[in-house]
Amino acid sequence: MRLHWAIGSGLVCLTMAGCPTEPVATTDPTESTQLGVQPLGNLEGPRLGTNRTRQQDIVDGLLSLDELRAAGLKMFSVPFNQADGYGDGPMDPQDPTSPGGRPTLQDNGVFLRVNGLDAQSCLECHSVVSSATIPSTFGVGGVGGTAANVIAQPFFIDVADRDDAGFASLDGRFINPPFVFGAGGIELLAKEMTDELQGLLELARLNDGNWVRLGTKGVDFGLVRFQDGVLDASRVEGIEPDLVVRPFGRKGQFATVREFDREAMLFHFGMQPIEVVGANNDADGDGVMNEVLIGELSALHIFNTTLERPFQMELDEAGQRGAALFEAVGCSSCHLPSMTTDRRSLPLSYPEVHDDPFANVYYEVDLTAAAPGFEATPRGGVRVPLYSDLKRHDMGSGLAESTGREIDSFFITARLWGVADTAPYLHDGRAMTLTEAIEMHGGAGQKAADAFRGLSIAERGDLLEFLYTLRTPLEPAAGVEASP
């Protein structure tokens, strides 16, 4: 079955609050005017303080990379409070599930926990660098344990199993937080792939009636054509008809880290970016405006895309046998070991135009710097050992979510780099071991899962030894200190 996604239909943008609004602001206010805030000391007022990062300062080169990373770490780790704009205003009875008008828990008045308003900082849910150690190793940008799972957009949870189904029914999504490491390389790959696919789309437009193969960086996204000037995307696979590669989010909904972060601010904290709601506008009626500046999201974007990448340990004999088996059983057909980019620097844009990924560039991140530490290639790019094809696949009914939508069983190929340190596995953490994760593959992964089951115990051990060489960074964000 081939499935296609319509932009803005609500089918794709399910991770958090739905499809993000197009930016409505291009500059930060000169002063960060807020309403209803009466500071009573450094820790009793807005935790963002008054020393805030503005976009024009970044564009004008007034801030060094170290200063920008420090500002980004602050955005990643500061515990927002209501003086910053944390939370929504009054509930909107016409739309009680979208950020801005959600209810809070009875007798609490602040948090909701199911459908967002579930944390005060990004760091709370992205903090486990390695779950393979005892105790776990904590650090900035890691995964979240099961307790950090997000329950997104449910209208019904039957915790008492009143219909005797044998489980607690849920019509929303249950999502385990992934790590942020290596995001710069992933974003650059996606931008270059999108750029090439847009060229192929234009080629199809110029050759009306002829099918054009959609291949980029060794990944096949099917075929596209124009018939009498009308787009025919019936044979496009694993990507939306607009041919924008969206590598972030379990469903592959977000083209860039910034796009993901913008919606995360809204969903998890009720912190409204002015690029969504406009400057000097208290859109959610919570008494605070200019909650997240354009420059603050840019600093967060820069910080996230300069976090260290995962790495691979040297393979011993068992690991080498396992690497060969990884390919032999078919895992590498979707979990591509690596891709290479054409350039070494990631261009960051604002406003972002996802089908023109190199428009409006205001800053560039060197991916070969110590952080993020990607390996340069002789042709001027970097090698990204992600173990993914950045393509959506139908993984079968066993892994399907329960929203009732057409894409419930579709997921972007999980990136396996760092997998040794990031249990639990799969989109919701249901697999506590790698063996369970492999054997739960269905749909497009069924053949490889069956082949894994057919291996001898020794061979399965070798394959796992190979996977256990894929590690997370040892000291992520080392040397970065959050700005006051």
Please report the pLDDT score of residue 236 as a whole number: 98
CATH of domain 308-471: 1.10.760
Please report the pLDDT score of residue 42 as a whole number: 62
Please report the pLDDT score of residue 35 as a whole number: 59
Please report the pLDDT score of residue 25 as a whole number: 86
Please report the pLDDT score of residue 18 as a whole number: 40
**Nearest to residue 368, comparing CAs of 184, 186, 190?**
184
Domain ranges of the chain: 55-179+278-305, 308-471
Statement: residue 176 has pLDDT above 70: yes
121-155 pLDDT, tens digit per residue, is 999 999 999 999 999 999 999 999 999 999 998 98
Q: What is the mean pLDDT of residues 190-215?
A: 98
Angstrom distances, CA of residue 460 to CA of 178, 203, 445 = 25, 45, 17
Among 17-26, 75-84, 278-287, 348-357, which is the least confidently predicted range? 17-26
Please report the pLDDT score of residue 8 as a whole number: 30
40-60 pLDDT, tens digit per residue, is 566 688 999 989 999 999 999
pTM recorded for the entire structure:
0.94
Please report the pLDDT score of residue 17 as a whole number: 38
Statement: residue 264 has pLDDT above 80: yes
pLDDT confidence bin for 482, thresholds 50/70/90: confident
6-53 pLDDT, tens digit per residue, is 333 233 343 333 444 556 788 999 776 665 555 556 668 899 998 999
411-451 pLDDT, tens digit per residue, is 999 999 999 999 999 999 999 999 999 999 999 999 999 99
311 contacts 471 by C-beta, under 8 angstroms: yes
Please report the pLDDT score of residue 244 as a whole number: 98
Q: Could you give the CA distance from residue 71 to residue 480 in angstroms, rounded to a whole number?
A: 9
358-393 pLDDT, tens digit per residue, is 999 999 999 999 999 999 999 999 999 999 999 999
Please report the pLDDT score of residue 413 as a whole number: 98
Please report, rounded to a whole number, the percentage of residues in the chain having pLDDT higher than 90: 86
Statement: residue 258 has pLDDT above 90: yes
Please report the pLDDT score of residue 15 as a whole number: 39
Cα angle: 117, vertex 121, 126; to 5 degrees: 105
Statement: residue 317 has pLDDT above 50: yes
Please report the pLDDT score of residue 430 as a whole number: 97
Please report the pLDDT score of residue 9 as a whole number: 28
Higher-pLDDT residue of 327 and 24 is: 327
Q: What is the mean pLDDT of residues 69-76?
A: 98
Q: Could you give the CA distance from residue 413 to residue 53 in angstroms, rounded to a whole number?
A: 35
3-class SS letters over the chain:
CCCCCCCCCCCCCCCCCCCCCCCCCCCCCCCCCCCCCCCCCCCCCCCCCCCCCCHHHHHCCCCCHHHHHHHHHHHHHCCCCCCCCCCCCCCCCCCCCCCCCCCCCCCCCCCCEECECCCCCHHHCCCEEECCCCCCEECCCCECCHHHCEEECCCCEECCCCCCCCCCEECCEEECCCCCCCHHHHHHHHHHHHHHHHHHHHHHHHCCCCCEEEEECCEEEEEEEEECCEEECCCECCCCCCCCCCCECCCCCECCHHHHHHHHHHHHHCCCEHHHHCCCCCCCCCCCCCCECHHHHHHHHHHHHCCCCCEECCCCHHHHHHHHHHHHCCHHHCCCCCEECCCCEEEEECCCCCCCCCCCEEEEEECCCCCCCCEECCCCCEEECCCCCCCEEECCHHHCCCCCCCCCCEEECCCCCCHHHCCCECCCCCECCHHHHHHCCCHHHHHHHHHHHCCCHHHHHHHHHHHCCEECCCCCCCCCCCCC
Q: Could you give the CA distance from residue 484 to residue 472 in angstroms, rounded to a whole number?
A: 28
The pLDDT mean for the chain works out to 93
Joined tokens for residue 40: 């009573």
Q: What is the mean pLDDT of residues 217-224?
A: 98
Q: What is the mean pLDDT of residues 177-199?
A: 98
Statement: residue 322 has pLDDT above 50: yes
Please report the pLDDT score of residue 5 as a whole number: 35
Provide the angle, in degrees to the nearest 10, between the axes of the packed helices 457-467 and 317-328: 100
Statement: residue 345 has pLDDT above 60: yes
